[in-house]
Structure 1
Amino acid sequence: MRFIFKTDYDQDIRLIKHRGAAFWYAVLGILLLAAPALLSEYFLSQLVFILIYSIVGLGLMLLAGFTGQVSIGHAAFLAVGAYTEAYLQSKGWPFAASLAAAAILSAATGVLVGLPALRTKGMYLAIATLAFGFIIEEVVVRAEGITGGNSGKQVGRIEVAGVLIDSEARFYYLTLILTVGVTLLVLNLMRSPTGRAFVAVRDSEISAQSMGIHLARYKTIAFALSAAIAGIGGAIYAHKLRFLSPEQFTFLQSIELLMMVVIGGLGFVHGAFFGAAFWVVTQQLIVLAKDYLPESIAQQSGLQPTVFGVILIAFVLFEPMGLYGRWLKVRTYLELFPFYRRGMFKRQKSYMKSERLK
């Protein structure tokens, strides 16, 4: 069993807590760098989708997992980033500039959503973000000069510093660099005063206010940062698909993104990666399973949503901490055996008694 004796504050906020974690992260880094040599082009393409969904999941995790603001319209920010990148790229903008513009425009859109939603929370906030998702979907259809409307819009290849990203391996490395950058950004944000304010707002708004935290400011910042990260994911998503249409950014896409972070582990950075990997791998398993199912079942269009719906219900009922939460329990059990007790990870209510008076 490992014991970490912390003697100063810097040690408490260190990104890598001990040498064991550094070793395993180094192994993971080596495997990711060697992935193009180890995997076929198809599986490398699926790994790219995992990285893209992880970026978007990190944005949603920042809002829902760390700030406690539920969003079921996050596909709208994905769409803003994707169409901004596609439009500016068609105008000859360099990738770095168009990517930054996609993030900035998505952040501005997030502020527009966050400001009216400041007086709402819970179910009402979810409905507000859902309505915004429908608005963006309609805007995408109507703005034919920019988005191509229902006819869709082609997206060209990326060129970075004069290098054309014309192979799956090059595109994978570019996506990997963006994923690592966004992950480090979120990790450093969460150990900053702003990140700690987000967590305080999530746990109890009344307690956060009593400590001098400006709720409106930090909720707006959370929406803006979450939307900006989703916009970055949308920009790289556009180049991965090479063709954009309104059907790719519907209400169902928002639900899928929310399912990823819930299944992966709401409130954990690792949960965004666990959820994205689980989502992509399970989709492939469902496709493979269709070959062994009766034709009357395999040909049903609602098979995949049904399977994921059952999985989500199972996680909510039996493992609300998600896949990463289950891993934490298994690891703690192995470390503490035979002294592990079942109630160590028992959930606590996130509100104070004073909030019941509202």
Structure 2
Amino acid sequence: MRFIFRTSYRQDYRLAQHNGHLFWYGLLLAALVAVPWVVGSYWTSQLTFVLIYAIAGLGLMVLAGYTGLVSIGHAAFLGVGAYTQAVLTGQGWSFPLALAASAGLSAAVGVVVGLPALRVKGIYLAVATLAFGFIVEEVMARWEHVTGGNAGLSVKAPAMFGWTASSAPAFYLVVLVVCLFATLAVLNLLRSSTGRAFIAIRDSEISAQSMGIHLARYKTMSFALSAAIVGVAGALYAHKLRFISPEQFGIAQSIDLLLLVVVGGLGSVHGAFFGAIFLITMPQFIALFKDWLPPAIGQAAGLQAVVFGIVLMGFVLFEPTGLYGRWVKLRTYLELFPTYRRGMFRRQKAFQKSERVR
């Protein structure tokens, strides 16, 4: 087991805590770069979807995992980014400029949606974001001369500096670069005073306010940053599908994003990637094993929704830290074996003071 001895304050600001992190993450990055030349086009396409959903998961993680604000309408920001990217690239904008505009417009919409968060929280905030999601979906369907309405809108391949990412491997590398920058941006955000303010608000709004944290400002900022990151994911999502329509950004997509962060592990950057892998690979496993089930079950239309619901309830009840939390426990078990202490990973219950007297 590795023990880190800190000898300077600068060590607290390093992204990599030790050389092992540099080695393993560097090896992972090299493997991801080599993917288009090692695996087939199908798996390259699936991994592209994983990276896109990981970016969206990072955005929702900033809001739900680190600020503690629940949103069931984040697919709306995905749609805003997708349609902005489709419209601007269709007018001849280059990919980087359109991507920046998608992030900016999504952030502006996020500020508007963040205003209810100043007065409501918990289930009421979730209902407010859900209503916003319905409104955006309806706007995308009715604003036909811009969005194409229910007929949908075609999206061009990313083009920049005279180069077009028309092939699947080329677009995969573009998504990988954007995902890398998004991950580094979120990691640096969490190390900043803004990120620490988000975490303080999540843990206790009263305590955060008593320490001088402006709740309205930081909640609105959290919504804006979260929406901007999800808007970037939406822009990449549009380029990947090459065709978008309003029903792709409905309540089902919002629930998928929420499922991603909960199953992956709330409050963890790694959890966004674990959740994205789960969200993309689980339908593949369901399709693979459905032939082994009785026809009445295997051919049922709602089989995937039932499986996702069971998995979500299982994680909420038995593993609230998600897939990443389970991985941390397994890694610690292997590091301490055979000197682990019985009951080390037993789930403990925590109660607030108001709950202790009931």
After TM superposition, the score normalised by the length of structure 1 is 0.96
Going from structure 1 to structure 2, the CA distance change for 1:85 and 1:64 (only over 3 Å counts) comes to same
Residues of 2 paired with 1:114 and 1:342: CA distance?
42
Q: What is residue 271 of structure 2 aligned with on the other side? A: 271
1:118 CA displacement: 1.1
2:343 aligned residue? 342
**What is the distance in 2 between the residues matched to 1:298 and 1:101?**
44
Deviation at 1:298, TM superposition (A): 2.2
Instruction: Give 1:13 deviation, angstroms.
Output: 2.6
Residues 96 and 350 (structure 1), Cα distance of their counterparts in 2 relative to 1, 3 Å cut:
farther
- In terms of mean alpha carbon deviation, does 172-181 or 151-160 score higher? 151-160
Mapped partners of 1:340, 1:8: distance in 2: 32
Q: Distance in 1 between matches of 2:120 and 2:132?
A: 14
Q: Specify the alignment match of 2:328 in structure 1.
A: 328
Give SS of 2:292's match.
coil
Q: Partners of 2:313 and 2:144 in 1: how far apart?
A: 39
List structure 1 segments (4+ residues) > 4 angstroms apart after TM superposition: 343-351
Alignment-derived partner of residue 174 in structure 2: 174
Once the two structures are TM-superposed, the CA of residue 343 in structure 1 deviates from its matched residue by: 4.5
- Deviation readout 1:86-112 (Å, 9 max, x if unpaired): 011111111111111100000000000
Return the offset for 1:346: 4.5
Question: Contact between 2:50 and 2:273, CA under 8 Å: does it hold in 1?
Answer: yes
What SS does structure 1 have at the residue aligned with 2:17? coil
What is the identity, as a one-letter code, of the residue corresponding to 2:340? Answer: F
Describe the superposition over 1:13-52 as per-residue Cα deviations: whole angstroms up to 9, x where unpaired. Answer: 3111111121111110111011001110001000000000
* Structure 1 pair 247–26 and aligned structure 2 pair: CA distance change class (3 A): same
Q: What's the CA shift for 1:292?
A: 2.5
Cα distance, 1:349 vs structure 2? 4.4
Is the 8 Å Cα contact of residues 79 and 231 (structure 2) preserved in structure 1?
A: yes
RMSD over equivalenced CA pairs, Å: 1.7
Unaligned runs of 5+ in 2: none
Decide which moves more: 295-304 or 70-79: 295-304
**For 1:209 and 1:348, how far apart are their aligned partners in 2?**
26
Partner SS state of residue 159, structure 2: strand
Paired with 2:202 and 2:347, the residues of 1 have a C-alpha distance of 18
Residue 220 (structure 1) shift: 0.3
The 1:209/1:345 distance shift into structure 2, 3 A limit, reads farther
Q: Distance in 2 between matches of 1:181 and 1:15?
A: 14
> Any gaps of 5 or more consecutive residues in structure 1?
none
Matched-pair contact (CA < 8 Å) for 1:204–1:350: no
Preserved CA contact (<8 Å) 1:203 1:350 = no
Relative to structure 1, the CA distance from residue 18 to residue 228 in structure 2 (aligned partners, 3 Å threshold; closer, same or farther) is same
Note the 1:21-36 alignment, pairs <5 A. 21-36=21-36
Would the aligned equivalents of 1:333 and 1:340 in 2 still touch at CA under 8 Å? no
CA displacement 1:316-341 (0-9 Å, x = unmatched): 11110000000111112222332335
Following superposition, the deviation at residue 117 of structure 1 comes to 2.1
How do residues 227-238 of structure 1 correspond to structure 2 at under 5 angstroms?
A: 227-238=227-238
CA–CA separation in structure 2 for the residues paired with 1:138 and 1:100: 25
Percent of aligned pairs with the same residue? 62
* 1:285-336 deviation line (CA, Å, top 9, x unaligned): 1111123333322221100000011011111111100000001111122223
Residue in 2 that maps onto 1:140: 140
- CA distance in 2 between partners of 1:221 and 1:23 (Å): 34
Alignment of 1:97-112 (within 5 A): 97-112=97-112
SS in 2 for 1:291: helix
For 1:119-268, list aligned pairs within 5 A: 119-268=119-268
TM-score by length of 2: 0.96
Please say if residues 133 and 250 of structure 1, whose CA atoms lie closer than 8 Å, have aligned partners that are also in contact.
Answer: yes
Residue number in structure 2 paired with 1:294? 294
Is the counterpart of residue 282 in structure 1 residue 282 in structure 2? yes
Q: Does the aligned pair in 1 maintain the 2:116–2:125 contact within 8 Å?
A: no
User: Which residue matches 2:78?
Assistant: 78
* Deviation per residue, 1:206-236 (Å, 9 max, x gap): 1101110000000000000000000000000
Shift of the 339–292 alpha-carbon distance from structure 1 to 2, 3 Å rule, reads: closer
